[in-house]
Structure 1
Amino acid sequence: MSASVALFTADLRIHDNPVLRAALDAADEVVPLFVIDEGVRAAGFDAPNRRAFLADCLADLDAALRERGGRLVLRTGDVAEETCAVAAECGARQVHVAGDVSGYAQRREERLQRLLASGGRELCVHDAVVTALPPGEVTPQGRDHFAVFTPYFRRWAAKRLRPVLRAPRRVRVPEGPRSAALPSRPDVTGVSPGLAAGGEKEGRARFDAWRKSGMKAYAENHDDLAGDATSRLSPHLHFGTVSAVELVHRASETGGEGPDAFVRQLAWRDFHHQVLAARPRASQEDYRPRGDRWRHDGEEIAAWREGRTGYPLVDAAMRQLLHEGWMHNRARLLAASFLTKTLYTDWRVGARHFLDLLVDGDVANNQLNWQWVAGTGNDTRPNRVLNPLTQAKRFDPHGDYVRRWVPELAGVEGSAVHRPWKLPARERAGLDYPEPLVDLSDGAERFLRARDR
């Protein structure tokens, strides 16, 4: 009997998975394979929150395959070497995998292709698996990628996406390839206490519930910090337990301002992927250098990381990150602006901290969103500064988000919670909460002077 290998990476699902479907169509038997990449660990990207979420995803994927007569084969080590070994064990002529965009993923793919070819085997790379539209599918005339979102989105929205694929009814796996034991979430230490559950079943259920209860009002509510009205699907998109293509199709079928706004956010995700595919070095280097000479104050950075800046909305955001391994997108923008524009600290410091904690810590979205906020990326207004007090008035007007995450201020009523330093001395003395690290106007002036010099 013929065999092929379906190498899972950021597509840990059986629904709408072109990699799995192509592998099944190509042979009588398929080895569904996942390799715990030692290179990711060596590079410092094996964060506890993502490791715990991954354990959930792998267990769920294995269960779904077993329901169809199959199983997940798990290996640990070098992805290229382990994949070639599995292909040799089952006599597979083809290995199927999803295309990815980071420099690390591109180098891994190239090495896998060389090693397979040396053994007379073929690597089949499939697009529109990790993203809705493949990077490079739409480009401006004379350039390899769009540098500004709005023209990209116009072209993106005009494209017809591939159809959604059904989950297979049966997966026949050859008996030969051995598998390591699946990891378990309880075995992972250092996990955020409020980390959400992972896996395709959980991701699909979350989308179905949110589609019924929250999608319609998404356009008007998605920035409401206390309302927490976003889909919270970013971890599932990062691990591929839900399909971006399927989400776009199902949201578009619903129609309306809310679904349209949600689809636009999925297009932003694709936008960042196409930028990084064309400019892999942007994961660490300024996309548009501004000549910054960043400050590095260790005490200020520590206060920002721990949620002790003295600005309640910033601190609430950072404490949500510590507790959940996730942060509301509006809060991410604010926390990043405060670090880069008010404290004038290198965006790479903040991006690294986010990657250490975010369960959806994706190189394309995380690094390029940080660059957007820092003004070294794709923002057409590179010197904009998000004022936490103005942001609080707009997106947490009653202070409910702050009181949820900053218990020291839970007893402060109304919007006064955003300016605790203006409380009467007697009330302020009873609060175990720090004074502001820096005056906002001083920080903004310092930043603008540095940029304008």
Structure 2
Amino acid sequence: MSVSVVLFTSDLRVHDHPPLRAALSSADEVVPLFVRDPAVDRAGFAAPNRLAFLADCLTDLDAGLRSRGGRLVVRTGDTAAEVLAVVRRTGAAEVHVAAGYTAYARRREEDLRRVLADEDCRLRVHDGVSTVLPPGEVTPQGSDHFAVFTPYHRRWEVTRPREPLAAPRAVRVPDGLDGDPVPVRAAVASVSEGLAAGGEGEGRKRLIGWLSRHADEYEERHDDLAGDATSRLSPYLHFGAVSPAEAVHRARARGGAGAEAFVRQLCWRDFHLQVLAARPDTATADYRPRHDRWRSGKRAEEDLTAWREGRTGYPVVDAAMRQLAHEGWMHNRGRLIAASFLTKTLYLDWREGARHFLGLLADGDVAENQLNWQWVAGTGTDTRPHRVLNPVLQGKKYDRYGAYVRRWVPELADVPVALVHEPWRLDPSDRAERGYPEPIVTLADGLARFREARGRD
């Protein structure tokens, strides 16, 4: 019997899975393979929340395959070496894998080509599995990628994505192929208490339910911190438990301004991926250098610690950071406010913030995380690189009644609406009893420091 291998990476689903469907159409039996590669740990991508979410996704993927007569084969070790071992054990004629766009994913593909070069086995890389449109699908004249979102979005929204594929009815796996137990969440230590459940089943339920019940209000409420009207699909998209192409098709079938606003966010995701694909160095280097000399030293370290712990003295910033610690997720508006405060009010290196986020976010994605941080820091693709978000004004606008702050900063739970975003205006004795810190910097001083650093006096 002919055999193909499907190497699952960031595409942990059975619905709309081009590599799996291609493998099934070209072979009698298929090995669904996932390799737990220690190189991922060494690269710093094995944060507890993502490991726990990954375990949920793998458990669910295994269940989805078993319901179709198959199973997930899990191996631990170097990815290319483990794939080669499976190819030799089964006599597989093809290995199918979704294209990746990070430097690590590209090295993985190169390693696979190298080890399979002397085998009678073909590597087939499938583009557009983890995106709506793959990088390079739309490009500006004279460049390999768009550097500004708006023109990219204009081209992207009129380019039709591929049609989603149905899940296979049956998956037949060769007998006698050994593997490791499928990881389970319970085996992961230091997981955030409020981390959501992962997996394709949960992701599809969330996508379908959110579109039917909440999409209509998304355009008006997606920045409402307390309302929490966003889809919360980002971790499922990161692990490929939900297909972005299917999400776009379902949203457009739903129709309406809210659904289109949601689709625009998926376009942002593709936009950042095409930037990273063209400039892999932007994971760590400024896309547009501003010659920043970020603060360092003892006081800078103290400010960074206060920011990480949600004790800056600015309630909406602290609420966002505490939500991150508790849930392994943060509201998008909260991410913008917290990132602006770190990079522009405290004038600390965006890489410090990006590293902290990657350590906690279940959706910690190199392209989305790093390039959104750069956007806020003014070193990325923002056409207004020197804008500064005032956390007080942002709080009053997007947490009008203070419900978000009260939810995550219990020290301020009973503060009147008029003062909840400016607790330093409370009576001194009241402030002392609450134990909530004074602001670590005045906004005027922070703004002046940033403008001087960027030569914006």
CA-to-partner distance for each residue in 1:342-388, whole Å, 9 max, x for gaps?
00000000000000000000000000000000000000000000000
1:405 lines up with 2:408 in the alignment = yes
Q: Which residue of the partner structure matches residue 56 of structure 1?
A: 56
Structure 2 unaligned residues grouped into runs of 5+: none
The question of whether the paired residues in 2 share the 8 Å contact of 1:5 and 1:87 is answered with yes
Q: Which residue of the partner structure matches residue 377 of structure 2?
A: 374
**Offset of residue 212 of structure 1:** 1.6
d(CA) in 1 for partners of 2:87 and 2:258?
45
CA-to-partner distance for each residue in 1:20-67, whole Å, 9 max, x for gaps?
111111100000000112110111110000000011110000011000
**Offset of residue 213 of structure 1:** 1.4
Runs of 4+ in 1 over 4 A off after TM superposition: none
The question of whether the paired residues in 2 share the 8 Å contact of 1:9 and 1:98 is answered with yes
1:364 lines up with 2:367 in the alignment = yes
Q: Which residue of the partner structure matches residue 161 of structure 1?
A: 161
CA-to-partner distance for each residue in 1:132-166, whole Å, 9 max, x for gaps?
10111000001000000000001111111111100
Look up the equivalent residue of 2:244 and give its one-letter code: A
**Offset of residue 260 of structure 1:** 0.4
**Offset of residue 243 of structure 1:** 0.3
Structure 1 unaligned residues grouped into runs of 5+: none
TM-score by length of 1: 0.99
Q: Which residue of the partner structure matches residue 82 of structure 2?
A: 82
**Offset of residue 177 of structure 1:** 2.0
d(CA) in 1 for partners of 2:93 and 2:409?
57
Look up the equivalent residue of 2:104 and give its one-letter code: Y
**Offset of residue 303 of structure 1:** 0.4
2:429 to 423, 426, 445: 426
Q: Which residue of the partner structure matches residue 218 of structure 2?
A: 218
Look up the equivalent residue of 2:422 and give its one-letter code: R
Look up the equivalent residue of 1:111 and give its one-letter code: D
1:100 lines up with 2:116 in the alignment = no
1:387 lines up with 2:394 in the alignment = no
RMSD: 0.8
Q: Which residue of the partner structure matches residue 274 of structure 1?
A: 274
d(CA) in 1 for partners of 2:24 and 2:327?
37
- Other structure's SS at 2:434 match: coil
Q: Which residue of the partner structure matches residue 348 of structure 2?
A: 345
**Offset of residue 127 of structure 1:** 1.0
Task: Decide which moves more: 419-428 or 211-220.
Answer: 419-428
Task: Decide which moves more: 337-346 or 209-218.
Answer: 209-218
Q: Which residue of the partner structure matches residue 114 of structure 1?
A: 114
Q: Which residue of the partner structure matches residue 335 of structure 1?
A: 338
CA-to-partner distance for each residue in 1:67-108, whole Å, 9 max, x for gaps?
000000000111111111111111101100000111111111
Q: Which residue of the partner structure matches residue 198 of structure 2?
A: 198
**Offset of residue 184 of structure 1:** 1.1
Task: Decide which moves more: 308-317 or 168-177.
Answer: 168-177
Q: Which residue of the partner structure matches residue 294 of structure 1?
A: 294
d(CA) in 2 for partners of 1:215 and 1:118?
51
**Offset of residue 340 of structure 1:** 0.2
Task: Decide which moves more: 150-159 or 415-424.
Answer: 415-424
Look up the equivalent residue of 2:36 and give its one-letter code: I
d(CA) in 2 for partners of 1:163 and 1:368?
28
Q: Which residue of the partner structure matches residue 20 of structure 2?
A: 20
d(CA) in 2 for partners of 1:290 and 1:426?
44
CA-to-partner distance for each residue in 1:182-212, whole Å, 9 max, x for gaps?
1111111010000000000000011111112
d(CA) in 2 for partners of 1:398 and 1:427?
20
**Offset of residue 131 of structure 1:** 0.6
d(CA) in 2 for partners of 1:94 and 1:382?
47
1:241 lines up with 2:244 in the alignment = no
- Other structure's SS at 2:35 match: strand
Fraction of identical pairs, as percent = 67
The question of whether the paired residues in 2 share the 8 Å contact of 1:311 and 1:388 is answered with yes
d(CA) in 2 for partners of 1:260 and 1:295?
41
1:136 lines up with 2:139 in the alignment = no
**Offset of residue 234 of structure 1:** 0.1
Task: Decide which moves more: 434-443 or 422-431.
Answer: 422-431
- Other structure's SS at 1:317 match: helix
The question of whether the paired residues in 2 share the 8 Å contact of 1:89 and 1:176 is answered with no
d(CA) in 2 for partners of 1:17 and 1:345?
41
d(CA) in 2 for partners of 1:189 and 1:42?
18
1:174 lines up with 2:174 in the alignment = yes
Q: Kindly tell me the number of residue pairs found equivalent between the two proteins.
A: 453
d(CA) in 1 for partners of 2:331 and 2:115?
42
